[in-house]
Amino acid sequence: MNSIILIVFLPLLAAIVAGFGNRIIGNVPAKIVTTGALFASCALSWPVFIGFLGGTSSAEVVPVLTWIVSGDLNFDWALRVDALTAVMLVVVTTVSALVHLYSWGYMDEDPDQPRFFAYLSLFTFAMLMLVTANNLVQMFFGWEGVGLASYLLIGFWFKKPSANAAAIKAFVVNRVGDLGFMLGIFGTFLVFGTVSIPEILEAAPAMAGSTITFAGMRLDTMTILCLLLFVGAMGKSAQLGLHTWLPDAMEGPTPVSALIHAATMVTAGVFMVCRLSPMFETSPVALTVVTIVGASTAIFAATVGLVQHDIKRVIAYSTCSQLGYMFFAAGVGAYSAAMFHLFTHAFFKALLFLGAGSVIHAMHHEQDMRFYGGLRKEIPLTFWAMMAGTLAITGVGIIGLGGFAGFYSKDAIIEVAFASGTEVGQFAFFIGVLAALLTSFYSWRLMFLTFWGTPRWAQSEHIQHALHGHHDDAGHDTHGHEDAGADNPPAQEDAGDGQSAHAHAPDARQHAAGTGGYHPHESPLTMLIPLIVLATGAVFAGFLFHDKFVEAADGAAFWAGSLAFDEHLMHAIHEVPLWVKLASTVAMLTGLGTAIFMYFFGKDRPARLATTFSPLYNFFFNKWYFDELYNLIFVRPAFWLGRLFWKTGDEGTIDRFGPNGIASVIASGSGVMRRFQSGYLYSYALVMLLGLAAAATWIIVQGAGA
């Protein structure tokens, strides 16, 4: 049996066993089956990847079964394996396997563990279906499967109203993007007469310059198709405009956040654009749009991340920003650089999320960074793991010597944007440098507030609950909303609206120092092992794989046509001026220096700055008011229209003149008839006599008239 079959279907088999077995088989068997299946898939994926790295493997398509034959639409279910697929296989399976193992410790007290692990495995299977797709319909199948699984995982704690709202929000926003993706698939089939990805990519260059009628206008064919497909990518990868679901996805358990943000759902859009890169290469307009949207997303998310208090939300906006980097890299034609950053980002972003989960675990589910401080001595292993992730995401390194993962991948994107030589590329370059500065600041802000300074958790509601025993039998804080020991406790984590349950002071220093007698503890081994593995990737992934991914000669051989690879552009990276190469490093150091100045020198400086620039602070804190704007433009009119159809259409028209109206007429008629039904024979005889008299009179009158 071909290994790709096992890689893809083992997670599905595990999900079926754990999902349908549920509490019948118990927690431990469900965890063993799902975790074992994912580690098996991971172990099989790395040799595939290494084979392409070494040049010993070549692209192949492994048939599974005949799927659809309908007129001109004819395609099979087949698994495509090439260099691009191999990269995604190791990203998805490695992170997912480590998340499964991590969840053994993190979710140990949850009563619904079989269901949780089944959802994780189902999520992974859907993503593997997506990345191995050999046609657009199969890709859409995996695309929707990922959306379904994300809905289930984000809303896992379904008794939390905020979790349900977040799951619905993710589902609805992604359906908007999926509508664009569907239209793109329909249009592609209309133009090319096939949904086979290899056939489409082969024919795409010949369609450059052709036109098609769309929305009553004659427009460039490839531009329309690419933009429609990109709308789908915007939804899955949370680009500006369709980004609003991503921060709220924090309502899912922390392992879910790591899986969604690092390895699965959010990478789907980037993968799709890279897979269809020969199509996008035929449309300069579409590439310009991709670049602008990506750069705008990078700076938007970076500004919002500056002022967040919730540790998971800071990392979530960081994800959104880094995805912006990937897209504007694709927009300037550097698809390999986009994939390289996707690859390294998976390691350090999963590391940061799982590290944050370890902090949350140690702090009894407290997620507000203003109530941390001094934790590096309490949880040293978690501290060093998050330090590695922070060094990676901020791009610490020295030119000519080396550095952490982000130093290679993010810097490559910034440099290639400048090297593209286009106006939109220059725009992306400067935005990328500014976003790098902001990324450095909020990343180090997170580290300083969490691990340095004096402990500030004495006033934490969660810590007070831990000290005084106000928690349920499962060890999770319910805040009095549910009976103790109830299934699915509603508040295991506290990431909801981005607001802490505590006072909303802009600076942690305003909270009284002290531990309150609570002493945080290091996470169990099942949570620490994934941190160690991911930290290794955050340190070495950039150095080990840089040449194969982005160097002109090695990159062309590695990718081998699985994406559009511009050797000239990748060679041009080495010819950019020195100040361009140093720009991201200077930005990183500026962000670090600013964070040190703000949080180590002057206890009230952040608070004073927030007060002085309160309009700007509130603008960033409220996420540029996108939620409020969408609520005004879309949500309220939708509810108004719904109520109109309900009250006027359903109740006022259908019910009134339909079943309720008929019933009312029958009831009224019955009442009238009851009045005539006295039960006395002479009354009925009188009525009949009067009727006969009236009839006779009418006949006589009619006869006289004639």
**CA dist 98 → 103, 111, 245, 266 (Å):** 8, 21, 25, 18
CA–CA distance, 434 with 445 (Å, rounded to integer): 17
Q: Would you say residue 473 has pLDDT above 50?
A: no
Q: What is the pLDDT of residues 278-332, one digit of tens each?
A: 999 999 999 999 999 999 999 999 999 999 999 999 999 999 999 999 999 999 9
Query: Any idea which of 82-86, 387-391, 425-429, 481-485 has the lowest mean pLDDT?
Result: 481-485
Nearest to 132 by CA among 170, 174, 89: 89
Q: What is the pLDDT of residues 103-159, one digit of tens each?
A: 999 998 888 899 999 999 999 999 999 999 999 999 999 999 998 998 899 888 888
Do 160 and 122 meet the contact criterion of CB atoms below 8 Å apart? no
Nearest to 441 by CA among 590, 591, 298: 591
**Ramachandran assignment for 71, one of left (phi > 0), alpha (psi -120 to 50 degrees), beta (any other):** left
- What integer pLDDT is reported at residue 482 of this predicted model? 39
The overall average pLDDT reported for the chain is 85
Range among 97-101, 237-241, 366-370 rated most confident: 97-101
Residue 474 DSSP class: T
Side-chain-facing half-sphere of 374: CA atoms under 13 Å: 14
CA–CA distance, 354 with 101 (Å, rounded to integer): 11
DSSP-based helix, strand, coil % in the chain, nearest 5:
70, 5, 25
Q: Is the dihedral of CA 700, 702, 704, 706 positive or negative?
A: negative
- What integer pLDDT is reported at residue 631 of this predicted model? 82
Print burial letters for 391-418: b (CB count within 10 Å at least 16), e (below 16). Answer: bbbbbbbeeeeebbbbbbbbbbbbbbbb
Phi and psi at 518, nearest 5°, equal -95, 135
Q: What pTM does this model have?
A: 0.86
Average pLDDT estimate for 653-681:
60
Q: Would you say residue 501 has pLDDT above 90?
A: no
Q: Give the whole-number percent of the chain exceeding pLDDT 70.
A: 85
Nearest to 313 by CA among 107, 115, 162: 162
Q: What is the pLDDT of residues 170-183, one digit of tens each?
A: 888 888 889 999 99
Amino acid residing at 498: G
The CA-based angle 388-392-398, given to 5 degrees, is: 110
Pairwise pLDDT comparison (510 vs 377), residue with the higher score = 377
Full DSSP string of 129-165: HHHTBSBHHHHHHHHHHHHHHHHHHHTSSTTSHHHHH
**CA dist 706 → 694, 697, 702 (Å):** 19, 14, 6
| Residue partners of 124: CB distance under 8 A and separation at least 6 | 11, 38, 41, 92, 93, 96, 259, 264
- What integer pLDDT is reported at residue 68 of this predicted model? 83
- What integer pLDDT is reported at residue 472 of this predicted model? 43
- Inter-axis angle of helices 405-419 and 578-600, nearest 10: 130
- Inter-axis angle of helices 284-305 and 221-236, nearest 10: 20
Nearest to 368 by CA among 507, 164, 570, 162: 507
Q: Give the whole-number percent of the chain exceeding pLDDT 90.
A: 56
Strand partners, 213: 218
Average pLDDT estimate for 11-24:
91
Q: Residue 360 CA to chain centroid, in angstroms?
A: 21
Helical ranges in 63-135 per DSSP H: 83-106, 113-131
- What integer pLDDT is reported at residue 252 of this predicted model? 83
Average pLDDT estimate for 43-69:
92
Query: Any idea which of 464-468, 530-534, 645-649 has the lowest mean pLDDT?
Result: 645-649
- What integer pLDDT is reported at residue 102 of this predicted model? 94
| Count of beta carbons in the 10 Å neighbourhood of residue 565 | 21
Do 320 and 302 meet the contact criterion of CB atoms below 8 Å apart? no
- What integer pLDDT is reported at residue 479 of this predicted model? 35
Six-digit token string for 349: 């972003």
Q: Would you say residue 28 has pLDDT above 70?
A: yes
Nearest to 392 by CA among 406, 410, 402: 406
Strand partners, 68: 75
Strand partners, 402: 398
- What integer pLDDT is reported at residue 644 of this predicted model? 78
Side-chain-facing half-sphere of 293: CA atoms under 13 Å: 25
Q: What is the pLDDT of residues 247-286, one digit of tens each?
A: 888 888 888 888 887 777 788 999 999 999 999 999 999 9
The pLDDT-based confidence of 512 (bands split at 50, 70, 90) is low
Phi and psi at 213, nearest 5°, equal -80, 125
CA–CA distance, 120 with 656 (Å, rounded to integer): 48
Number of H helices, E strands in the chain: 30, 6
Q: What is the pLDDT of residues 590-647, one digit of tens each?
A: 999 999 999 888 767 888 888 888 899 889 888 888 888 888 887 788 778 877 777 7
The pLDDT-based confidence of 698 (bands split at 50, 70, 90) is low
Side-chain-facing half-sphere of 318: CA atoms under 13 Å: 37
- What integer pLDDT is reported at residue 74 of this predicted model? 82
- What integer pLDDT is reported at residue 88 of this predicted model? 95
| Count of beta carbons in the 10 Å neighbourhood of residue 223 | 22
